Every structure is written in C-alpha cells, then in structure tokens.
C-alpha cells in the first residue's frame, strides 16, 4: 500500500496508466514544469509561502463537520470535509494557488485554464488576480449557460472567459482549446490544469496540492474519534478532490475508499460520464487512462447534471487504484444526485455543489451495506450556490422530486442492481 502512495514512477506512470502523450513542442515545457515543481517543494521559502496562503487566504484548515442529523437518519457517524468553505467555494483554490506560484517562479506572465462547473475557473482567476497575472479561461458554451453565475465571477475577477463553440461545448472541448493555446503560447503562458489528469507531471502536481484535504482529515478525525475513519467517499470527475482526500490514506489499508461517478440519465453511451462502468483504456488529452469511447475508438459524448463531472476520461491514478482494487467506484444518476442535494440541504442546512451531491447520493446508496455505526468522511468538494438555477430547472421538469419529505427516513432506498448503481428514491 505504501508503494501506491509513492507513485508515479520516473516516467510519470501509475502502473500502466499516465505518461505524457503530447505534441513535441510541449515536451520541454512539461520538463520545465516538473523541474520547477520538484525544486519548489524542496524550497522552504516556497512551502512556507504556500502554507501561509492556504491559511490566511484560502481559509485552511477547513472543518471536519459532524453531520448529526444525517448521521441519525443513516445509522452511521458521518463527517463532512467542508471544502465548500474554502475561499471561492470549492477545493479548486488549493491547486490554483500552488500552480500560480509555480508560474511566477518560472517567469510566466499569463495564465490559462479550462473549466466545466466554473469553480476551477473562478479559483484560477482569483489566483491570477492575487499574483497580478493575465488570465484567460476556456469554457464550453453549454457550461457557460448552466454556470452563468461563475462566468460573471470570473469576469469580475479580471479574467477573460472564452466560449468554446465546437463539439459538445462542455469540459472536454474546453480542455482541448486550452491545450491548443498552450502549445502556441507556452513561452509566456502557464496552463493551470484543474484536475488530476492530463500529461505528466499534472496528475502528480494537482494531487499533491490537493492532498492537504486528506492530511487535514487524518489529523482531525484522530483528534475527534481517536481513530481513523472506516470509509471515505468523494465524487470523481477528473478526480482532484477525491485523490486529494484518498492519497494520504492509501497507506492505511483498513480504510475503505469509494469514488462516485456521474451516472447521468441512463446507461447508454452518451447518457452518462461513468468511465469505470462504460469506458475502457485509451489516451485522451495527454494521458493513458479509462476513457468513454465507441467501438471505433472515437471519444463518446457524455452527460451529467453536474458540469464538473461531465468528462469522458478520469485521472490516471484513479485508473490504477481501480485496477489494483484499492478504491471502489460506483455511479449515481442525475435524479439521485438532485435528491441528495435536497436531503443534505434539509437535514444539515448545507447546499452542496451538484458534484458533491453525487458523493452524498453515493453515501445514501452505500449506507445499508456498511458495517453498523461506521465512521464515514464525505468530501464536500464545493458549495451549491452556483447550481441553484440548474437545480430549479431540473425540478421544474421532474415534478415528482419536488415532493420532498420532512426527514430522510421517508426517503426509501431500493437498490436496482448489483453493479454499483444507486436505486431510485421514492418519497412517501
């Protein structure tokens, strides 16, 4: 298990996954980034500045909150790691601040990024403003429409939001546009990739900057419970919030880890974004991993009510951990994520991001099968302010979900299949 926590290898591989499949012009750029990063993490001044910014600017450590009402309803001791309380409203700022510092160290004057849900875009625009860097954010037109609040936030922070109008007009196309820009302008531009994917060294860098989530959780749960948790649960899009929680726990073999993917509206290709349920090994946007693709190897369309999980590939370390059996992966549907959004709101007074609502839905699905009175940490990766309009639109189209019960005990759980699919909620 400890060997797992020391990956990737010198080639940037997590077992057979990872690597750097990029245009020749980006090879020296990636090598410069890796060299700069490895030097920076050995530099006491860099580490001190980073930790100070996490404390004084981002607001770390974030609380490990005991969700008492939800715990009572589910029969387990549930803790929420409150990344929604970070500055900008999500975990993304942990990585954006760190990479902005690397950009300054490399002498770059311009930052670019991709964003789906908008939280990484907001975090990157925030970091760029903090360090006085020019900032351009690529975002698919579909995501700009469903995350319009975050578009305005980015613009107010001084960033230019560039709409991507090709393909599905979501996160995959935004990543492609950002990479093309980076190839053309790498001399003065740094690409702050927002998730633990893409070519090496990005999966390693993003994971390490996000590992503050898991490191804090270990200290906090030991102080509160005098022991490690039994289970960790987090949503998985590209995989940054989940790997940030999971990675520091890898060496503790008794701790069970569950990643929750977007099951979307159905099981057919193009109806979901569950790479481990419907994908297979492939190469996308610089890395080898699990990819949703058709029988000819063409990248499949994806769907999720959550813009941040709506992506055809997953981080290579997640692919390795899945094959190794160290982390379990499941999927939950749009309906169940929306139901979980409502349940957490009504039981704990917390509006989760739709991404995080998938993790809550995963918790509700798994609760009946967990050892009685298990201690569970759920990573609440972001807050739901950005999703209120999207939830409202969804509920207006699905009136049956408006009949929300007074307490969670009225929400019946009925598993549909043994393949890690969450059952439908039926409200009494």
Q: What are the catalytic residues? A: 92, 114, 381
Task: State how far the Cα of 290 lies from the Cα of 311, in Å rounded to an integer.
Answer: 11
Torsions phi, psi for 293 (to 5 deg): -150, 160
Closest CA to 146 of 333, 355, 345, 312: 355
CA pair distance 274, 120, nearest whole angstrom: 21
Q: Whole-angstrom Cα distance, residue 347 to residue 408?
A: 8
Helix pair 316-324, 202-210: axis angle to 10 deg: 80
Give, in degrees to the nearest 5, the angle at Cα 269 between 265 and 275: 90
Phi and psi at 248, nearest 5°, equal: -65, -15
Q: Say whether 208 sits in a helix, a strand or coil.
A: helix
Rounded to 5 degrees, what are φ and ψ at 233?
-135, 135
Q: Where are the beta strands (DSSP E) in 176-312?
A: 189-191, 231-235, 256-264, 280-284, 287-291
E strands in 317-414? 328-333, 375-380, 411-414
Task: State how beta strands 110-115 and 411-414 pair.
Answer: unpaired
Give me the residues paired with residue 265 across strands.
Answer: none
Among the listed residues 156, 82, 80, 81, the one whose alpha carbon sits nearest the alpha carbon of residue 118: 156
Contact 328, 256 (CB under 8 A): yes
């Amino acid at each position: 298990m400890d060997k797992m926590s020391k990956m990737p290898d010198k080639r940037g591989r997590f077992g057979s996954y990872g690597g750097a499949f990029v245009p020749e012009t980006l090879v020296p750029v990636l090598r410069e980034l890796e060299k700069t990063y490895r030097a920076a993490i050995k530099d006491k001044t860099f580490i001190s500045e980073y930790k100070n910014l996490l404390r004084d600017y981002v607001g770390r450590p974030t609380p490990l909150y005991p969700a008492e009402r939800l715990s009572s309803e589910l029969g387990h001791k549930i803790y929420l790691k409150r990344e929604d309380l970070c500055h900008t409203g999500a975990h993304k700022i942990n990585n954006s601040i760190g990479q902005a510092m690397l950009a300054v160290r490399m002498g770059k004057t311009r930052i670019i990024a991709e964003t789906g849900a908008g939280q990484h875009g907001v975090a990157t625009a925030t970091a760029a403003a903090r360090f006085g860097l020019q900032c351009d954010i690529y975002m698919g037109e579909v995501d700009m429409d469903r995350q319009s609040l975050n578009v305005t936030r980015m613009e107010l922070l001084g960033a230019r939001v560039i709409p991507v109008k090709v393909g599905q007009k979501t996160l995959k196309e935004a990543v492609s546009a950002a990479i093309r820009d980076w190839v053309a302008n790498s001399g003065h531009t740094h690409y702050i990739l927002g998730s633990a994917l893409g070519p090496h060294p990005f999966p390693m860098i993003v994971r390490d900057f996000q590992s503050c989530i898991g490191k804090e959780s270990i200290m906090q749960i030991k102080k509160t419970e005098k022991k490690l948790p039994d289970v960790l649960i987090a949503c998985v899009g590209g995989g940054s919030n989940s790997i940030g929680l999971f990675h520091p726990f890898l060496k503790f073999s008794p701790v069970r880890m569950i990643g929750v993917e977007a099951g979307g509206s159905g099981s057919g290709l193009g109806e979901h974004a569950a790479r481990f349920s419907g994908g297979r090994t492939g190469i996308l946007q610089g890395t080898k991993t699990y990819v949703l693709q058709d029988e000819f190897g063409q990248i499949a369309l994806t769907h999720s009510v959550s813009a941040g999980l709506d992506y055809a590939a997953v981080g290579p370390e997640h692919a390795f951990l899945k094959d190794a059996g160290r982390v379990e992966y499941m999927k939950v549907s749009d309906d169940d994520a929306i139901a979980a959004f409502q349940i957490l709101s009504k039981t704990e007074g917390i509006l989760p991001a739709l991404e995080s609502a998938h993790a809550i839905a995963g918790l509700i699905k798994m609760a009946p099968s967990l050892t009685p009175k298990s201690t569970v940490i759920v990573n609440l990766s972001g807050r739901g302010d950005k999703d209120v309009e999207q939830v409202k639109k969804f509920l207006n189209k699905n009136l049956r979900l408006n009949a929300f019960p007074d307490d969670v005990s009225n929400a019946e759980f009925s598993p549909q299949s043994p393949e890690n699919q969450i059952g439908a909620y039926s409200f009494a």
